[in-house]
Amino acid sequence: MKKILLLSCLFLSILANAQEKKYDIIVDRNGTGNFRNIQQAIDSVRAFNPAGTVTIFIKKGFYKEKLEIPTHCCNVRLIGEDRDKTIINWDDHANIRKMGTFRTFTLKICGNDIRLENLTVENSAAPMGQAVALHVEGDRAVFVNCRFLGNQDTIYTGRENMRQYFLNCYIEGTTDFIFGPSTAWFEGCEIVCKRNSYITAGSTPQNVKYGYIFNKCTVHFADSTVTDEYLGRPWRAYAMTLFMNCQLPKGIKAIGWHNWGKVENEATARYMEYNNSGEGANTTGRPAWIKLLTAKEAAEYTAENVLKGFDGWNPTKQ
Which residues are catalytically annotated? 153, 176
Q: Give yes or no for a contact between 198 and 258, defined as CB atoms under 8 angstroms apart.
A: yes
Question: How far from each other are the two terminal CA atoms of the chain, in whole angstroms?
Answer: 45
Strand ordering across the sheet containing 163-167: 25-27, 54-58, 76-80, 114-117, 141-144, 163-167, 183-187, 212-215, 240-244, 270-274, 291-292
Q: Give yes or no for a contact between 132 and 160, defined as CB atoms under 8 angstroms apart.
A: no
- Going by C-alpha positions, the residue among 158, 84, 69, 145 that lies closest to residue 114 is 69
Say how far apart CA 307 and CA 270 lie, in whole Å: 18
3-state secondary structure of 21: coil
Residue 219, beta-bridge partner list: 191
Q: Give yes or no for a contact between 189 and 217, defined as CB atoms under 8 angstroms apart.
A: yes
Of all helices (H) and strands (E), which one includes residue 86? strand 86-90
Say how far apart CA 195 and CA 202 lie, in whole Å: 19
Say how far apart CA 30 and CA 24 lie, in whole Å: 18
3-state secondary structure of 62: strand
Say how far apart CA 86 and CA 80 lie, in whole Å: 6
Phi, psi of 39 (to 5 degrees): -60, -35
> What single letter denotes the amino acid at residue 75?
N
Distances from the Cα of 182 to the Cα of 49, 154, 168, 297, angstroms: 25, 15, 19, 22
